[in-house]
C-alpha cells in the first residue's frame, strides 16, 4: 500500500511553514504542496485537495470554507487550522486531551478543526473543572493571555522583524471590544453557560503563550480549594503525553511564568497557584502558540487520523 498523500494548503504562512517543517522528513506520508504560481488558482487547488488523503488547511477563514466546499471526493479528510469550523457541530474538535473519548473521535473523523491557540489553554484548564462540577457553568470567568507576535501571523512577524522593527510596540493589549473571535470557541468547548471575558495581548517575543484564569473560592462549589482544583486537573491529564500539570510544590516555587519555555514543542504546562488566606486561585497554561497552539496540534491530530487511514 502506498503512503497517504498529505496536502498542505497554505504552507507559506506561519502555521503552514511550521507544519511543513515538522512533516518534511517523514517517510510514512507523501507530502504535497502547490507551487507558488498555482496557489491562487481555484481549479488547481480543487484538483489538489480532491487528490489527497488528508488535507491540512492553513488559510484565512473564508478561504478555508471555500477549500472545504471544493471537496467532491468523499474519501478526503480534513484538518482545518483556521477558526472557520471550530464551533460547527459536524466537525470534530481537535484537542485530543479534552475528554476521554476525544482521541478516538479524532482518529475516526473526516473533518477535524484545530483549536485556536488561546482556547487550547483556556479549554485545557476549564473543561475538566467544569465537567467535574468544581466550577459552576455560570461562573463569571475572566481570561487573560499574552502571546508572541507570531500570533498575528505575517503582519506581526513583519512588524517586529521587518525594516520598522525598532518601532514595534513592546506590549499591547487588544480585543478591547470584548468580542474576540476565540471567545465563542472557549465558551462552547469549556462547557461554560455564560460568555467569558477574554482579554488577549501581544508581547515583543516571537512565540509562546502564558494564559491565566483567576478564581474566587467563595464562588465555587462548597469545599473546593486550590488542592481540590489541582487534584482534578492532575487526574484528568495523568496519562497525557503532551499536557503536564505541575505538582503544587513545583508551581509554588515559581516566581514568574516564562511564555517561551516550551517553544518548539507540542507540550503544555498547567499550574495551580492558591492563596488560602484570601480564598484566591490562579490557573495558568504555558505553551507555544505555534506548537500546541497550532502546528504541533495539527501534526498530533494528523498522527491520530493516520492510524485509521
Catalytic residues: 117
Q: What is the DSSP letter of 202?
A: E
- Nearest of 102, 169, 167, 110 to residue 131 by alpha carbon: 102
Q: Which residues pair with 79 in a beta bridge?
A: 56, 112
CA distance 204 to 149: 6
Distances (CA, A) of 215 to 47, 129, 141, 212, 276: 50, 12, 8, 10, 12
| Beta bridge partners of residue 209, listed in sequence order | 147, 287
Backbone φ and ψ for 263, nearest 5 degrees, come out as -60, 140
Residue with cell 482545518: 80
Amino acid at each position: 500500500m502506498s503512503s497517504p498523500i498529505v496536502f498542505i494548503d497554505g504552507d507559506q504562512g506561519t502555521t503552514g511553514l511550521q507544519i511543513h517543517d515538522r512533516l518534511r522528513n517523514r517517510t510514512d506520508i507523501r507530502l504535497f504542496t502547490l507551487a507558488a504560481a498555482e496557489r491562487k488558482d481555484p481549479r488547481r487547488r480543487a484538483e489538489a485537495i480532491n487528490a489527497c488523503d488528508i488535507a491540512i488547511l492553513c488559510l484565512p477563514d473564508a478561504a478555508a470554507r471555500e477549500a472545504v466546499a471544493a471537496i467532491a471526493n468523499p474519501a478526503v479528510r480534513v484538518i482545518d487550522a483556521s477558526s472557520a469550523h471550530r464551533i460547527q457541530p459536524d466537525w470534530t474538535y481537535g484537542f485530543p486531551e479534552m475528554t476521554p473519548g476525544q482521541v478516538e473521535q479524532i482518529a475516526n473523523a473526516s473533518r477535524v478543526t484545530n483549536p485556536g491557540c488561546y482556547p487550547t489553554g483556556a479549554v485545557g484548564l476549564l473543561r475538566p473543572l467544569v465537567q467535574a462540577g468544581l466550577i459552576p457553568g455560570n461562573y463569571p470567568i475572566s481570561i487573560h493571555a499574552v502571546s508572541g507576535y507570531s500570533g498575528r501571523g505575517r503582519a506581526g512577524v513583519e512588524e517586529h522583524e521587518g525594516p520598522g522593527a525598532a518601532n514595534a510596540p513592546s506590549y499591547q493589549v487588544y480585543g478591547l471590544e470584548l468580542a474576540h473571535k476565540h471567545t465563542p470557541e472557549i465558551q462552547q468547548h469549556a462547557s461554560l453557560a455564560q460568555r467569558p471575558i477574554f482579554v488577549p495581548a501581544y508581547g515583543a517575543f516571537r512565540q509562546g503563550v502564558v494564559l491565566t484564569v483567576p478564581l474566587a473560592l467563595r464562588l465555587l462549589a462548597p469545599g473546593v480549594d486550590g488542592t481540590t482544583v489541582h487534584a482534578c486537573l492532575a487526574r484528568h491529564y495523568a496519562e497525557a503525553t503532551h499536557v503536564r500539570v505541575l505538582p503544587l510544590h513545583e508551581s509554588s516555587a515559581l516566581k514568574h511564568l516564562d511564555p517561551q519555555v516550551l517553544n518548539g514543542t507540542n507540550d503544555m504546562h498547567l499550574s495551580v497557584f492558591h492563596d488560602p488566606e484570601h480564598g484566591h486561585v490562579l490557573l495558568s497554561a504555558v505553551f507555544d502558540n505555534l506548537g500546541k497552539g497550532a502546528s504541533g496540534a495539527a501534526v498530533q491530530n494528523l498522527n491520530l487520523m493516520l492510524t485509521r487511514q
